[in-house]
């Protein structure tokens, strides 16, 4: 079987949301593997600090903006002449009961978490397909893209979309015998800044009203769970291993597989009793 990007040294990686959390850990891991790395992020100061500390190229990019991601791709190709690994990793957290959400809540979360992945694929896939030595796309979804819990409707919807797009793209590329592979990362709780991502919310998508008590409580619970979450470097190690072995699914927390199986069983049961 043709292995896509099993040799990482000297290859070029682009990582969105690369200034902190999983993205920063991925960048550090790629550097350790001898790759040329471009990290993209919307936060200028953390981006500059990460680029300097890791010795990588930093490019400010807003993944919700197609032109910004296209410029990121152009800058990468101009600098290195090619790209081999694209990690569409940038994401934001947003919670609250659906009955309490505004359209601004929906738009912000979906624009970053779903459209950010779409923009990344659209901008970089043509370059990956041109590589004689193949390429790989890693899309960051979530366990919430496979089991929808309450209180994070927009996040669930976006992550389900990321999983669906990744499955579709993988099937299409495989059918063509493409040398470009696809993985979807479905992490559980990881120690990142995702629960403070309101700091990057555009002014035009902020709500005027104060947070509801339910939304505040939901964030507090999520923050407590995050504090006992997995460290980002452990996630990065799993991602690079999946890229090397052309593995589609990346589950950081196997304990959630039971919840996924229960959901599948409920669907199957509903179909057999209809």
Give the CA count within 13 Å in the CB-facing half-sphere of 105. Answer: 24
Measured between alpha carbons, how far is 43 from 141 in angstroms, rounded to an integer? 21
Is 2 inside any structural domain? no
252 domain residue, yes or no: yes
**Which residues of the chain are modeled with pLDDT < 70?**
1-4, 194-197, 210-228, 274
Indicate if 155 belongs to the active site: yes
Q: In what order do the strands lie in the sheet with 36-41?
A: 57-60, 36-41, 12-16, 85-88, 135-140, 180-186, 249-251
**Residue in 155, 195, 251, 256 annotated catalytic:** 155
Q: Determine the structural domain holding residue 195 and report its residue range.
A: 12-272
pLDDT of residue 229: 78
- What's the pLDDT score for residue 217? 44
Is residue 155, in this structure, part of any structural domain at all? yes
pTM listed for this prediction: 0.90
pLDDT of residue 137: 98
> What CATH number does the domain containing 206 carry?
3.40.50.720
Residue 262 domain flag: yes
Spatial separation of the C-alpha atoms in residues 170 and 152, rounded to whole Å = 27
- Residue 115 within a domain: yes
**Is 7 a domain residue?**
no
Residue 4 lies in a domain: no
> Contact at 8 Å (CB) between 41 and 47?
yes
In a domain, 179, yes or no: yes
22-57 residue pLDDT tens: 999 999 999 999 999 999 999 999 999 999 999 999
**What's the total number of domains in the chain?**
1
């Amino acid at each position: 079987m043709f292995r896509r990007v099993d040799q990482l040294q000297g290859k070029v990686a682009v990582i969105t949301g690369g200034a902190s959390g999983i993205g920063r850990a991925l960048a550090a891991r790629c550097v350790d593997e001898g790759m040329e790395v471009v990290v993209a992020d919307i936060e200028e100061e953390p981006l500059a600090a990460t680029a300097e500390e890791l010795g990588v190229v930093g490019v400010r990019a807003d993944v919700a903006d197609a032109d910004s991601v296209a410029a990121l791709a152009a800058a990468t190709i101009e600098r290195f002449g090619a790209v081999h690994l694209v990690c569409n990793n940038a994401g934001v957290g947003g919670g609250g009961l659906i009955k309490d959400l505004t359209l601004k809540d929906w738009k912000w979360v979906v624009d970053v978490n779903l459209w950010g992945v779409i923009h990344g694929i659209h901008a970089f896939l043509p370059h990956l397909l041109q590589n004689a030595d193949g390429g790989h796309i890693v899309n960051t979804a979530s366990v919430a893209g496979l089991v929808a819990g309450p209180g994070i409707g927009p996040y669930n919807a976006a992550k389900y979309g990321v999983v669906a797009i990744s499955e579709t793209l993988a099937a299409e590329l495989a059918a063509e015998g493409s040398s470009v592979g696809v993985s979807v990362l479905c992490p559980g709780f990881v120690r990142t800044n995702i629960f403070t991502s309101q700091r990057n919310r555009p002014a035009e998508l902020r709500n005027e009203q104060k947070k509801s008590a339910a939304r505040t409580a939901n964030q507090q619970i999520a923050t407590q769970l995050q504090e006992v979450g997995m460290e980002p470097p452990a996630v990065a190690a799993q991602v690079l291993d999946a890229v090397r072995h052309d593995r589609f699914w990346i589950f950081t927390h196997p304990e959630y597989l039971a919840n996924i199986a229960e959901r599948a069983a409920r669907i199957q049961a509903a179909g057999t009793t209809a």
